[in-house]
Structure 1
Amino acid sequence: MTEVASPTAAGSGASATKTFQERAKAGAATDRARVNAIASDALAALRDVIRKHGVTYDEYNAFKAWMIRVGADGEWPLFLDVFLEHEVEDVASASREGTAGSIEGPYYVEGAPEFGSAGPLPMRADEPGVRLKFFGQVRSVGGQPIAGAEVDFWQADDAGLYSQFAPGIPEWNLRGRFSTDAEGKYAIDTLHPAPYQIPTDGATGALISAAGWHAWRPAHLHVKVSAPGHQLITTQLYFNGGEHVKDDIASAVKDALILDPTPADGGGEQVRYDFVLDPA
């Protein structure tokens, strides 16, 4: 088994912040009325919390110190993606008929290696874990197969660590982009990921500890599926009976996204999952 050092909150946070900033360089268009409405309501909600709980100056100053630490640790992507993104995703996908979405999380990296419609993900020669054959078809909501759809796939390893966010793991380990064949089919050889704790030695972990929460996410596969003329779907897929499926710290699990693998010929597991894309 390959020995890999555990990521620190600061190291993982810095990587997540850098990745997010590079993707967000262009910035988003802002509507002054929308900014006013959203910011005003958010601040009003916080003021209501202060009044409801009778927040003291000591608690207020502890909150300020904690917010400063979140920034110093580079953990805003982690904190926001764990505790708020699932609500944004629910709003964004409320009108979709196709595959249910889920959060992207802080560990996505653009530009993964491209493969054909089938094959193994990049992995170390001694990569530990139970092998998993993940396959299926991409269709439109009308049921037509979509050829040439991109299936952008990434996941944690058997230790719950992500390449490019934990030290000592090859750059594109367990990351890859696949293109569906003429029948809209894809097949990915990978491994069953592990549940993992989000980094707890930084500001986010301090809040979790102070509140008496747990910091675990269930084992999951990340997928972005896209095709011309269709809406991009970003989702996560979980495993039936897996630890923390029912109490995910990120509140991102949906029943429609739970997989039920079966034994595969030659060992390991296999599971089919079909993606259905809404029109653009």
Structure 2
Amino acid sequence: MMDLSTTSVLAAKAYKYKAESLVKEYLLADSYVSYTAVLGGILMCKMAYDITSLISSLYYKGYGSLTKIQKLEWNNRGMSTVHAIFITVMSVYLVFFSNLFSDQLDGPVTFRSSNLSNFTLGVSVGYFITDLAMIFWAYPSLGGMEYVLHHMLSLISIFYAMYSGEGQLYTYMVLISETTTPGINLRWFLDTAGMKKSKAYLVNGVAMFVAWLVARIILFVYLFYHIYFHYDQVKQMHTFSCILIFAVPTILLVMNTMWFAKILRGLKKTLAKRQ
């Protein structure tokens, strides 16, 4: 007869096998990987929010004196920074370094997708769901209707690109604009911490100006340039995909230009005060 230790080992192996089978056959199966990523994105947001709160309470003395809503926004910005870093790295890789959207491959670039691209979009969907829920819950403390519009457009576009597999290249080009988010959040952190007159605040303003110009203005112009030269492939997509491809970047470009004007005015004021 088997002893207790042998029985325990066999039971542990059986549970491990069942867990691995569950992950492979369901969570990471081609048909489920995107939805697993959405749950993973929501979990990532929760972890980033809690870790931001923990680190801030340990290493920033002023954190304890913040109001309840300031702490909420502080942690929320930590969460959005983590997402921004993740999605920027993945978007730059998929657009410029992987061969997924290469013109040298056969077939239209507008119908290209992979498990990795779908997984990445799923994580971003999870983030936008979480952030949008927080915006509504604390409205308008975390942002007004312009933030709601931005998040709704982003969520619909990303989810549809993930679901349909169409237009993912242009979705990732737009998502590269998230590279400006860490700078925006850092500026808010410095302002809240009473460091508006610091050198770091000035450097941040200049860096944010450059990043915004490149990622949210010039890159969008390149996106429309790419659409123009691949229009024969773009028009093969479903009608709703075409509407998203043209409408969403256009609306976001208008919003980005308006915000860019505010950034420029703010930078001018900061530089004028230091002369």
**When the two structures are superposed, what TM-score results if normalisation uses the length of structure 2?**
0.28
Q: Which has the higher strand share?
A: 1
Q: Which has the higher helix share?
A: 2
Q: Which has the larger radius of gyration?
A: 2
